[in-house]
Amino acid sequence: SGTDVATVLAGARIMPVLTVPEPATAGPLADALAAGGARYAEVTFRTAEAEQVVKAMAAHGGLAVGAGTVLTAEQAERAVAAGARFVVSPGFDEDVVTTCRELGVPVVPGIATATELMRALSAGVDTVKLFPAEPLGGLRTLRSLAAPFPRVRFVPTGGIDASCLTSYLAEPAVLAVGGSWMATPTHVANGYYDEIRRLTADAVDRSTT
């Protein structure tokens, strides 16, 4: 169904997380990510121009573009109106989840504890972002948290880079891995598109071999 996040992600397992202050860079950025083999990207609502960036990247057509750092139901509505195909949040907010479900868009709320995960499950969510994954204890924490919840799929994000990517992806409970390491705010601000393409290709390569 349209609200199933695994359907939107369609087997690709790398989620580039982007913070883009300048909508004019959305086109070349989408080109670089797509050229590196990314199939989707998360545009964070941390900049005033995030909606325009979502719109521009969605129009590019080469990527399924979602919205990240969505904190409120109102932001979720604006993100989806701008063309976001999925919504990611750093935490669990029931209004955000309900709104996304009403809009028919998959939502991946963030959780950091078993209690938060149980609240997400009660709201009908089965795919969560473990955030911030590395500061929380990384793979050990993910495994311990996943054990009592065999139906839950995780998208660990926060402090992850190429060096620990494959060990996360080897975990059966991990649906995909997110992070900004492929296109950091510095890369984006300086137009380092070759580097973005190279880092994305490296991550995609690690995820498929």
Catalytic residues: 42, 129
Report d(CA 143, CA 90) in Å as an integer. Answer: 20
Residue 158 is a binding residue for ligand 3PG (CB under 6 A): yes
Instruction: Return the amino acid letter for 25.
Output: T
Task: Lay out the site mask for ligand 3PG across 81-100 (x = CB under 6 A, - = otherwise).
Answer: ---------x----------
C-beta of 32 vs 109, nearer to ligand 3PG:
109
Does 111 interact with ligand 3PG (rule: CB under 6 A)?
no
Q: How far apart are CA 167 and CA 93, in angstroms?
A: 29
Residue 53 CB contacts under 8 Å (≥ 6 apart), including other chains: 18, 20, 23, 26, 43, 47
DSSP per-residue codes, 39-101: -EEEEETTSTTHHHHHHHHHHH-SSEEEEES--SHHHHHHHHHTT-S-EE-SS--HHHHHHHH
Query: Shortest approach of ligand 3PG to residue 175 CB, angstroms?
Result: 15
Return the closest-CA partner of residue 107 out of 12, 200, 1, 11. 1
Contact between 179 and ligand 3PG by CB under 6 A: the answer reads yes
Stretches 57-65, 144-152, 178-186, 189-197: which one binds ligand 3PG (CB under 6 A)? 178-186
Q: Are 39 and 10 in contact (CB under 8 A)?
A: yes
Query: Applying CB under 6 A, does 200 fall inside the site for ligand 3PG?
Result: no
Shortest CB 94 distance to ligand 3PG, Å: 20
Q: Residue 44, interface with ligand 3PG (CB under 6 A)?
A: yes
Alpha-carbon distance of 34 to 156, in angstroms, equals 22
Is residue 178 a contact point for ligand 3PG (CB under 6 A)?
yes
Stretch that binds ligand 3PG, among 27-35, 53-61, 152-160, 165-173 (CB under 6 A): 152-160
Interacting residue ranges for ligand 3PG, rule: CB under 6 A: 17, 44, 68-69, 90, 157-160, 178-181
